[in-house]
Amino acid sequence: MRLFYFFILLLFLYTPFSSITSIFTDIPNNVETNLQYFSDKSYETAVTTTTSPDETEMTFYANQVPLKQIQAANETRKKVVPGGESIGIQLQSTGVVVVGHHELDGKNVTSPAKQANIRVGDIILSMNDEKIKDINEIPTIVEKSAAKNKNIAVTLKRNGKEISTNVKPVKNKKENKYQIGLYMKNASSGIGTITFYDPTTKKYGALGHTVNDAATNKPVNIHDGKIVLSNVTSIKKGNKGIPGEKKATFSMKQDKLGNVVKNSPFGIYGTLNDTLLKNEEPLDIAFAHEIEKGPAEIWTVIEKNKIEKFDVEILHASKQPFKATKGIVLKVTDKRLLDKTGGIVQGMSGSPIIQNGKIIGAVTHVFVNDPTSGYGVHIEWMLEEAELTMKEKNDAA
């Protein structure tokens, strides 16, 4: 027995203490990653035993002495199909959005709604307990209240809080009808680029940033939305201090490409119809810590509906432990793209960024003072917004 302990002591003396310590600190207790994680580690021996279709037991040795045992999940990296398509977007807001006031030529020349403290950016949810889904519903409610000489009970949302007020209709003599003095809208539209879609669930992500209402500069609180393919007709080239933009045409009477169910700081999300389900091979996604400074490419459309690949350089990638925007800084290096657009332009938002055969993120913003450069968002945050996991369990054999 003494000989056994003496032999063990010799083994430990033969192994530098620092190396044993480093192995203990280097091996995590719980691993949820592909087993490739350990391929570059300098352990003398790592013995793996498959304990179930979903888990592998790993025992690490140094000088034949077992140091640590862990359970590693058998998982593969999520694959999605890169986008690049130019799309037209239409978002229907919940209720109608106040975008301005107008004065009435009646007993009171000011706007009745303004007097009732209804402000630009407010969302009108209901009038006289009737939910408002369309602007065209409002004139009828106004006329009915005016006929009874009653105020209209208005419920609106402002900065996330519901507010109640009353507004009295006033007759506009020029138009010979009762009004409340508001300009309103319940739809916002624009163009952008699809970043990815999941061929299994048909979920997609686009833009990489929120859609704000042009009149209020506030995020559109969507009730419904849809996307269609758009056709890029021309490019307004960007210059220092003046961002460029894609000019594109689309019609909401076209076949719907997909719906929009979420408008978030990380883009718009929904489910595609079969129209876009192309034969393009899915690509692995990249984690933030895997992004490297150096060459990459973006996929986008600058003419008609042809997706093209253009060279960019990754200048910086933040190792963001929590969801945040603008995690990537990139610079356009492609001569043809620079000649055509001046760099990053409006309408490129959502263009997928590819590096080393993996999707790393999406273009989101341009630097106003340097249109050749801009920001991107990490793909992992977009997948999380789409409720897609970054990893998938391996199928059991």
Enzyme catalytic residues? 209, 334, 349
If one counts every other C-beta atom within 10 angstroms of the C-beta of residue 202, the result is 15
Q: What DSSP designation does 239 have?
A: B
Q: Where are the beta strands (DSSP E) in 44-110?
A: 45-52, 55-62, 65-73, 75-77, 79-82, 86-101
Hey, is 37 helix, strand or coil?
Answer: helix
Residue 126's contacts (CB-CB under 8 Å, 6 or more residues apart) are 95, 132, 154, 155
Joined tokens for residue 397 = 């054999």
Give the dihedral sign, CA 211/213/216/222: negative
| Strand pairing class (358-367; 283-285) | parallel
Full 3-state SS string of 277-335: CCCCCCEEECCHHHCCCEEEEEEEECCECCEEEEEEEEEEECCCCCCCCCCEEEEECCH
Contact 219, 260 (CB under 8 A): no
383: closest CA among 20, 80, 179?
A: 80
